[in-house]
Amino acid sequence: MGGAETLLFTRLRYLKANRPEQFKRTIVVNTLGTSSYYTEALHELGVPLITLPSANPIVGAIELRRFLRSTNNVSAIVFHSPVTSYFEKLLRFVRSRPAQPRIIDVVHSTRYRSIYRALGALLDRKADVALAVSDDVAAASTTAHFRQVTTLFAGVDVDRMRTWVGDNAGAPSDLRRDEGIPAEYRLMVAVGSLIPLKGHRYLIESLADSRLEKVALVLVGDGPERSSLQSLAKALGVCDRVRFAGRVPDGWRWTAVADLIAHPSEYEGLPVALMEAAVLGTPIVATNVGGISQVLQKGADGVLIERQDPELLADAISDVLARTPEISSMFVNRARSDSFWSMRRYVDEFYSVVGSVADSR
């Protein structure tokens, strides 16, 4: 799952475990198709799920409208993608009174495709509020045309992480052994879809630096760049130190057992993987884009670099590893401290906003 999907799934899982009445009042309309990893995860969770049969965004928006007309108990729609929201906003041009249900857009990125920017310039003012995932997103062009923009920092399931760490003292050696990573190597992970903007190629190139000859990299996630990244690792002679773990549930478990997490993206909103790292206490090396700096400002350890560059990455990685004790002595303390990035704080703030918007006249 991508960051937005992971965020929604984690929030719903937390609601089911801790606030079942709120969970029962939630319906998820899924536009990703019936066979996606995300759809299967939501089915297993047991959330009421309506999957729109068409991947075409125009058809999907029309199907969403048909669903809304068939029910009269939806007070607010929270959109995590701009695509299907535009039809609902368009309808407001032809209505003479405030529309129900209320429209809340969660904006996850500082960049959109040109067609989405054009539609946003025309229609975003018809939404009731935009929730930006970071201050950088709140100041970006993707939120420029909303009447009201509020920054709402997300959160992750701290209690779930803490419990797993406490129950799995042998995880650092077990996961390394499963991937054939020598015990004497330092472990770096990157969690995210294998797509160009995430900058995985620069991480692989950084491994060619002699200072990182005892560093292994695990890429947690999948995507269209997998084969080209495998070829690059082979061409650089570092394929014996690069592992492709694929898409796995709770990818943060790899972050928990790592010496550091790297995230050299071209652009971002606020990466879930780095919120998870902040909670776990795993040091971060990342590009200074989007809301990433705010993760470090709120207590995470790490180094930011100014652009995607293998030499800058190698400098930062070697610096962080030189001052970071090995995971064998650190793992027991993962997720032990209180964190701003808690799911409890996020859920409280999120539903406070949703409730106030839904009840407004």
Q: Which domains does the chain have, with CATH numbers?
A: 3-155+342-359 (3.40.50.2000), 158-333 (3.40.50.2000)
For residues 107 and 109, give the distance between their C-alpha atoms in angstroms, rounded to a whole number: 6
Token code pair at residue 140: 């970006």
Please, which residues have CB within 8 angstroms of residue 125's CB and are 6 or more apart in sequence?
145, 146, 147
The chain-wide mean pLDDT, for the chain, equals 91
Lowest mean pLDDT among 99-103, 123-127, 184-188, 200-204: 99-103
- Residue 82: per-residue pLDDT: 85
Token code pair at residue 8: 């929604």
For residues 33 and 181, give the distance between their C-alpha atoms in angstroms, rounded to a whole number: 36
For residues 318 and 333, give the distance between their C-alpha atoms in angstroms, rounded to a whole number: 22
Q: Average pLDDT for residues 129-136, to the nearest whole number?
A: 96
Check whether 295 has a pLDDT greater than 80. Answer: yes
State pTM to two decimals.
0.92
Q: Average pLDDT for residues 136-150, to the nearest whole number?
A: 96
Q: What is the dihedral of CA 51, 55, 58, 60, to 10 degrees?
A: 0
Helix (H, G, I), strand (E, B) or coil at 149: strand
At 35, the pLDDT band (50, 70, 90 cuts) reads low
Q: What pairing do the DSSP bridges indicate for beta strands 260-263 and 129-132?
A: unpaired
Token code pair at residue 2: 């991508």
270: which strand partners? none
Share of the chain above pLDDT 70, in %: 96
Lowest mean pLDDT among 60-74, 107-121, 131-145, 253-267: 60-74
Q: What pairing do the DSSP bridges indicate for beta strands 129-132 and 102-107?
A: parallel
Cβ contact 109:142 at 8 Å: yes
Q: What is the dihedral of CA 125, 67, 111, 199, to 10 degrees?
A: 160
At 96, the pLDDT band (50, 70, 90 cuts) reads low
At 245, the pLDDT band (50, 70, 90 cuts) reads very high
Q: Average pLDDT for residues 154-167, to the nearest whole number?
A: 96
Cβ contact 232:205 at 8 Å: yes
- Residue 140: per-residue pLDDT: 95
pLDDT tens for residues 219-229? 999 999 999 99
Long-range CB contact pairs, 233-236, < 8 A, 24+? 233/204, 233/207, 236/204, 236/205, 236/207, 236/208
Please, which residues have CB within 8 angstroms of residue 148's CB and are 6 or more apart in sequence?
128, 129, 130
